[in-house]
Structure 1
Amino acid sequence: MHSSRRDRIVLAAVVFAVLFSQLLLYPGVEILVAELGADATDSPFATTALSASMWFLVAEFVAYVAFVGVWGIASDVAGRRIPFIVAGALAGAVGYAGLAATSLLGSIPFEGILLVRLLQGAMTVGAFSLTITMLMDLDGGHGKNMGVAGIAIGFGAALGAPVGGQLTELHPIAPLLAAAGLLVCVGLLVSIVEDRAPSDRRTARAILERVRRRPTLTIPYAFGFVDRLTAGFFGLVGTLYFQDVFGLGAGETGLLLACFFAPFALLQYPMGVLSDRIGRTIPIVLGSMLYGVGILAVGTSPTVLAAAAAMVAVGVLGALVAPATMALVTDIADETERGVAMAGFNLAGSLGFLGGFLVGGTVADAYGYGTAFLVVGGLEIAIALVAVPVFVRLSLASTGLSVGSDEGDV
């Protein structure tokens, strides 16, 4: 048990470092892509500052979508997690450093920058997804373990945004260098954790077939998709909205984003434990419904203080949903399929991020920020309303499962 507690802390630190490094780039993304050369190119991906920022963020998540499943399958087939995490972290560090180097070369077309970003994302997602899978492998309660993962994700995002804003004001390339250094630390830190991946090896075909026969996994995947869509929306459109409408700088924008991420991080663990006790349905369903309402409130806030208060409320609601959704994946998946199952969840989440960037960015560019908030917030509410009857029906059909059980309460 003592070893599990120590490993839980170390793995949480690794998840934190990966998310922290990712969010370092967000508050100053417009300045960063200009430094990398997006303001001096005729690329169709960089026609405006918004489009260049959007495609720079999208490129990473395209790689996430393409490669997260590969990492999960490889880990489950090999019966190992740590070697893949180390490889992904160190290669991701090289990717961040490569992006920083392109600013010195000065002659790299924006498409080349996006290619480096794709490679960096393909490597980083392995470290992220498989570290969460290692938390799934621990005992002690699925909600608790995913609550720890949620705290790490939340704090990584909460602190990454404001620190990234401050680093950007020092130099646009500073967040890239800091991210590279952090991923090197990740590769070293994870090597001290015990690898608890099940040794019952199966072929990739057998693992995928077993996961395919668990249709209830689509429930957490769907909610994960929608929740990450809103996060991607805030990461791009929300950042530019706060700067354009309220006249905030990169540092102030990071602090406003932290109004969401701070409560989101602090409440992950207690909310995860709560879902172990009362089940997953109420936190996921109720939280998702109110989350959409909170997004609409942010988009209609007349002042910075009102927007900050709405962001805090959205952060609380996000903390209610996130650990319960990830715990539901662990409830449903067999222990020999956890790498693929969590990869599927992160795939859905990455598609959600992409949707947030593309839908939010496109709508904001064409129709303005107000319409973009209405579309994304309304989509969150609409999908939750559509999914609720299915969610509840499957929950009631899950006979033999007690509410809050780690054995699979839906």
Structure 2
Amino acid sequence: MTDRDRVLLAGVVFAVLFAQVLLYPGIPALVHALGGTPAAWGGDAGAILNAGKWFLTAEFLGFVLFAGVWGALSDSIGRRTPLIAVGAVAGAASYLLLVVVARSIGMPYGGVLLVRFLGGAATIGAFSLAITTLMDLDGGNGRNMGAAGIAIGLGTALGAPIGGQLYAIGPLVPLTGAALLMMVAGGLALTVTDRVPDRNRRSPVAALGRLRSQPILGLPYALGFIDRLTAGFFALVGTVYFQTELGLDAAGTGVMLGLFFVPFALLQYPFGRLSDRIGRVGPVAVGSLVYGVAVIAVFFAPTVEMTGVTMVAVGILGALMAPATMALVSDIARHDERGVAMGGFNVFGSLGFLTGIVAGATVAATYGFGAAFVSVGLAEVGIALLALPVLLGIDEPAERGEQAPRA
């Protein structure tokens, strides 16, 4: 039963990420169809960056503000799967509403951004609580987070190239596909058995406040922030770079992003198991350090083919560190506060993604793509160096992945 639920929950995570990433390869065209700032593909990079920046930002603001709320609520009521289903269905409604908006003339673009915000607030509930429910399963934190990681990676790996193909049919087609995927996610969640270890009877607000009693959670939160910053950077700045500098269309951009996400997906489960055996220090610290260098190398690759090879390397290194970082949250959090702990992790991750979008686009538009790639890569290197002493102060996990910080 545990293995079955692990697969079903991974399916929920996969569907949510697949739906989200379907939109990325053609964001400027979609924004134009929804009445936002016009940005033709032949325009300059600054115009295209601005076209997508606020559309993505609105959704991630919803992620940031509501991830912890969903987690604390699930801890408080002792249930997760019904909340996952509610978040998924509400997210599906937000995608469908955008399709309706695009076919009408009554809603200003500010209203579109409001729908994106509300959709983000709902979607993060399905995503974060599905990962939290994986944390509740037996079998080792690295293994469970590896299952989450492979679902995240496969969702994004398939979402980028398939989304590029759907944009060739029409700019609204990915929205419809995303809505259908979110409905599937909600249905899958209702077939999973809840295994919340202990009901936390504190109110959601009190549960959120308890995070202050575990400052060591700041370590995976900071790592998650920087890791997701690079993801946000590639979602917008990387997409525009591939199209304006390398001459790729939406479909080609989807393939290029897929070169990162396929190894990122396929290697997360075995790397998560590896971190259960050897500990989190190596995968997190070494992985983050080399990952940052690889991000910078993407810009300096001399040909399109070499850029693709470098993206594969980035994916492999990302797979090494991502499940180990999420497993740190499982290692550290109290059993009855896993929901709010993972919610906090996703808050910082969403802030990172948002920073990658806004700061990356701003730096790229002001100083050029080279400065943007170097800045993001050095941020990853810096967090690895800063985290290493703290990581060394945490006990190595046992095979089952249950560790606790040293006193």
TM range (shorter): over 0.9
1:367 counterpart residue number: 367
Matches within 5 A, 1:84-123: 84-123=83-122
Shift of 1:181: 0.9
Tell me if structure 2 keeps the 8 A contact 1:37–1:106: no
Partner residue in 1 for 2:32: 34
State the shift of 1:40 in Å: 5.7
Change (3 A) 1:195 1:121: same
What's 1:330 paired with?
A: 330
User: C-alpha deviations, 1:331-377, integer Å up to 9, x for none?
Assistant: 11111101000001101100000110011000011111111111111
Partner of 1:167: 166
Q: Which runs of 4+ in 1 moved over 4 A?
A: 401-405
Q: Secondary structure at the match of 1:192?
A: coil
Q: How does 1:6-405 map to 2 (within 5 A)?
A: 6-39=4-37, 48-204=47-203, 206-392=206-392, 394-395=393-394, 398=395
Q: Which runs of 5+ in 2 are unaligned?
A: 40-45
How far has the Cα of 1:206 moved from its partner? 4.8
Deviations along 1:232-259, whole A, 9 cap, x unmatched? 0000000000000111100010000000
CA distance in 1, matches of 2:304, 2:173: 28
Does the CA-based 8 Å contact 2:221-2:348 persist in structure 1? yes
| 3-state SS, counterpart of residue 391 of structure 2 | helix
2:42 is aligned to none
TM-score by length of 2: 0.95
Q: Deviations over 1:43-71 (max 9, x none)?
A: xxxx9332120110111111100111110
For 1:106 and 1:157, how far apart are their aligned partners in 2?
Answer: 32
Distance 1:409 1:320, change over 3 A: farther
Residues 281, 391 of structure 2: 8 Å contact kept: yes
Measured against aligned partners, the alpha-carbon deviations of 1:66-112 in whole angstroms (never above 9, x if no partner) come to 11111011100000001111111111111000111111113422211
Aligned-pair RMSD on alpha carbons? 1.5
Q: Indicate the SS of the match to 2:403.
A: coil
- The residue identity in structure 2 corresponding to 1:339 is G
Match of 2:43 in 1: none
Determine the C-alpha separation between the residues in 2 that align with 1:324 and 1:49.
35
Q: How far off is 1:260 after superposition?
A: 0.3
Tell me the alpha carbon deviations over residues 282-306 of structure 1, each in whole angstroms, 9 at most, x when there is no partner. Answer: 1000000000000010011121101
Q: Distance in 1 between matches of 2:390 and 2:197?
A: 32
Q: Aligned equivalents of 1:210 and 1:69: distance in 2?
A: 12
Question: What is the rounded CA distance, in whole Å, between the counterparts of 2:76 and 2:48 in structure 1?
Answer: 43
Q: Structure 2 counterpart of 1:156, which letter?
A: G
Q: 1:90 to 1:112 in 2, by over 3 A?
A: same
The residue number in structure 2 matching 1:44 is none
Using the alignment, how far apart are the partners of 2:51 and 2:67 within structure 1? Answer: 24
Relative to structure 1, the CA distance from residue 206 to residue 229 in structure 2 (aligned partners, 3 Å threshold; closer, same or farther) is same
Contact 2:284 2:384 (C-alpha < 8 Å) held by counterparts = no
- Residue type matched to 1:10 in 2? L
Tell me, in whole angstroms, the C-alpha distance in 2 between the residues paired with 1:154 and 1:335: 26
| Distance across 1 between alignment mates of 2:38 and 2:264 | 38
State whether residues 279 and 409 of structure 1, in contact with CA within 8 Å, keep that contact through their aligned partners in structure 2.
Answer: no
2:166 is aligned with what amino acid?
A: L
CA contact (8 A) 1:233 1:353 kept: yes
Once residues 383 and 198 of structure 1 are traced to their aligned partners in structure 2, the CA distance between those partners, rounded to angstroms, is 33
Please tell me whether the aligned partners of residues 279 and 405 of structure 1 are also in contact (alpha carbons under 8 angstroms). Answer: no
Q: Distance in 2 between matches of 1:40 and 1:308?
A: 30
**CA–CA separation in structure 1 for the residues paired with 2:86 and 2:303:** 46
- Cα deviation per residue 1:112-137 (whole Å; 9 max; x = unaligned)? 11111001111000000000011001
Distance 1:155 1:184, change over 3 A: same
Deviation at 1:38, TM superposition (A): 1.4
Change (3 A) 1:199 1:381: closer
State the secondary structure of the residue aligned to 2:245. Answer: helix
Matched pairs, number: 398
Larger deviation, residues 266-275 vs 203-212: 203-212
Structure 1: stretches of 5+ with no match in the other structure: 42-46
- The answer to whether the 8 Å contact 2:128/2:346 transfers is yes
Q: CA separation in 1, counterparts of 2:63 and 2:38? A: 28
CA apart distance, 1:404: 5.3
